Chain A
């Protein structure tokens, strides 16, 4: 396991990212000022409920959002600003520098091309190699992600593979150009738990072997506990809390984080109550803290003033006027 808070320069630095979708009903403020950093060899878990802005933020960084999205702020990858970068230049970064693994490999893979050829095509788009060399490299990669009989599997079509195999093939494609950053958006949510365990093992091994940074988007706190070095909790398009994984689980300060941890049954919690209410509509984001309407610790100030990010410990920040444990 890599130590968190390493002295290495972060691979990706996001500052005050804002994403607004123009819709017929009005602007939807999906991300409302988010910071993020991830260092080489580090796995950052990005947690939140549907609509918290976690996926949209990462898609914005990669320039993969539809045209009705307005993006503001900064995202610097390896010293280069990505926000506002021309499509052609972004394409060089995507695939070679940053790769993204999606939840459903079946929609991300091309159904009419053989697996090996799809991987080889990705290699040839970014590296000057012959088709034969790229094909051979594709087989090597399939072997590296634990696909048995890789020569034969390289000739298979996506529909001929199981869900777990497809996700492995997808991962092989994503690591083909040795990216410095892997963004994994719920990569195991569509898989069975025994297959999920295999894929998590594989991603952990890739991180150790290649030293790449990883942003792991998920709503599953069990998966976070298993794989992440640090966790960033999102709520209503903003950061609620960021902390090293053991500290986030051991000493959470944001009432939303606490609520999320206590929503899962445990040995001392056979019948959790969950968090009352529902997440806010980003069409009409609430004033003040986005969580105040559901928060058991809300103060009058919470519905008026947006809480700033405060230091709660070493490498630990939280955005709360009335944090659990009082903060520091």
Chain B
């Protein structure tokens, strides 16, 4: 495997104009985010609503134009690519959306949906055979080609969405909350499918989710976002089991565990108040107004993103410092 990162994001920023009580303002949904993903690796992006995770992946694919920053995909600068080049690159990067009910055209057959990317990009070869192969890959019967989306359950529709995303043999798959709309008993099947496909096809994943169990199972590294910034980055198991940033710790302690023994005895960090408005986030660290460990210095400038140990970064003044609170 080569050392050159496959996907590199540098200083990515996306601002949206808004009107706040009649005056013009901007929301910086993504605020100077940088990270890299090696080929064949899987990165999870977690955070609450409004943290900018979905905007980040849309900028990553240039589905929306970033305000500033660079995205490099396999050595090519995506953010500078001209139309024709962008179109060629898009074949190699695909996205699977959250809601399998709105992502499939109800008037198209399953065969037409899965085969559409092949038609758009004029892929050579026997299209019908390729569609049948794709359906098999995601665990659906080839005989489904002439049926319509409404005949399928949520889990089956999500498999159809995945088959469509795989049609052009992409290298990168962006998964935006791929199981959030599905019933609990169905989720595991889709998560296992995604896990298997990555290994089998050597895919690179960027997975956005607020469900930490899928992040744990499918990703190698994880980035925790809070109000447009990455506050913590590192190997998935380390970040989830031994979070360093106070926000990550609060997030982990808020996720309910299906075990009454644990649920009723554990220490819970319940944050006070609401997340600050993204229109006017607090100066310095955006988390300081809700942070249980806040100090005076936290208001002075964004905390630096410090590499605590190889591959593990935390943006907190107190992290790793002697006397910092025990996990």
Let me know if A68 is at the binding interface, CB within 8 A: no
Whether A265 lies near B185 (C-beta < 8 A) is no
A9 to chain B: which residues have CB within 8 Å? none
Q: Which of B158-198 touch A at CB < 8 Å?
A: 183-189, 192, 195
Q: Which of A148, A249, A272, A278 contacts B188 (CB 8 A)?
A: A272
A194 to B271, CA, bound (A): 7
* Given A194-B251, A197-B254, A278-B156: A263 touches B185 (CB 8 Å cut-off): yes
Q: Which of A254-286 touch B at CB < 8 Å?
A: 259-261, 263-266, 270-276, 278-279
A121 to B262, CA, bound (A): 42
A248 to B210, CA, bound (A): 26
Q: Which of A222-276 touch B at CB < 8 Å?
A: 222-226, 245-246, 249, 259-261, 263-266, 270-276
Q: Which of B251, B260, B274 contacts A162 (CB 8 A)?
A: B274
Whether B274 lies near A260 (C-beta < 8 A) is no
Q: Which of B258, B261, B273 contacts A246 (CB 8 A)?
A: B261
Whether B263 lies near A225 (C-beta < 8 A) is yes
Whether B184 lies near A265 (C-beta < 8 A) is no
Q: Which of B49, B153, B217, B271 contacts A265 (CB 8 A)?
A: B217
Let me know if A50 is at the binding interface, CB within 8 A: yes
A264 to B255, CA, bound (A): 13
Q: Which of A245, A270, A273 contacts B189 (CB 8 A)?
A: A273
State how many residues of chain B have any CB contact under 8 Å with chain A.
Answer: 38
A260 to B187, CA, bound (A): 11
Let me know if B216 is at the binding interface, CB within 8 A: yes
Interface of B is mostly: helix
* Given A194-B48, A259-B185: A264 touches B258 (CB 8 Å cut-off): yes
* Given A193-B255, A201-B270, A221-B258: A265 touches B186 (CB 8 Å cut-off): no
Let me know if A81 is at the binding interface, CB within 8 A: no
Let me know if A89 is at the binding interface, CB within 8 A: no
B268 to chain A: which residues have CB within 8 Å? 197
Whether A219 lies near B183 (C-beta < 8 A) is yes
A225 to B266, CA, bound (A): 12
A200 to B270, CA, bound (A): 11
A278 to B210, CA, bound (A): 24
Let me know if B257 is at the binding interface, CB within 8 A: yes
Whether B263 lies near A226 (C-beta < 8 A) is yes
* Given A164-B274, A278-B186: A196 touches B258 (CB 8 Å cut-off): no
User: Which residue in chain A gives the minimum CB-CB distance to B250?
Assistant: A194
* Given A192-B210, A249-B259: A274 touches B185 (CB 8 Å cut-off): yes
Whether A49 lies near B184 (C-beta < 8 A) is yes
Let me know if A289 is at the binding interface, CB within 8 A: no
Let me know if A130 is at the binding interface, CB within 8 A: no
B260 to chain A: which residues have CB within 8 Å? 225-226, 245-246, 249
Let me know if A14 is at the binding interface, CB within 8 A: no
Contact pattern, B 191-221, Cβ under 8 Å of A = 1, otherwise 0: 0100100000000000000100100110000
Let me know if A198 is at the binding interface, CB within 8 A: yes
Whether B185 lies near A260 (C-beta < 8 A) is yes
A201 to B270, CA, bound (A): 9
Let me know if B155 is at the binding interface, CB within 8 A: yes
User: Which residue in chain A gives the minimum CB-CB distance to B183?
Assistant: A49
Q: Which of A194, A225, A276 contacts B259 (CB 8 A)?
A: A225
Let me know if B256 is at the binding interface, CB within 8 A: yes
Whether B153 lies near A278 (C-beta < 8 A) is yes
Q: Which of B153, B251, B256 contacts A225 (CB 8 A)?
A: B256
Whether A271 lies near B187 (C-beta < 8 A) is no
Q: Tell me how far the C-beta of A22 lies from the nearest C-beta in chain B, rounded to whole angstroms.
A: 20
Whether B48 lies near A275 (C-beta < 8 A) is no
Q: Give 13 A-B contacts (CB < 8 Å), ordered by A residue.
A: A49-B183, A50-B183, A162-B275, A194-B48, A194-B271, A198-B270, A219-B183, A222-B255, A222-B257, A226-B260, A226-B263, A263-B187, A264-B213
Besides A225-B264, A249-B261, A271-B192, 16 more A-B contacts (Cβ < 8 Å) are: A49-B185, A192-B48, A194-B251, A219-B183, A222-B263, A249-B258, A249-B259, A260-B184, A263-B184, A264-B213, A264-B258, A265-B213, A265-B217, A274-B189, A274-B192, A275-B185
9 closest A-B pairs by beta carbon, nearest first, are A222-B256, A274-B188, A221-B258, A192-B48, A275-B185, A197-B254, A49-B183, A225-B263, A278-B153
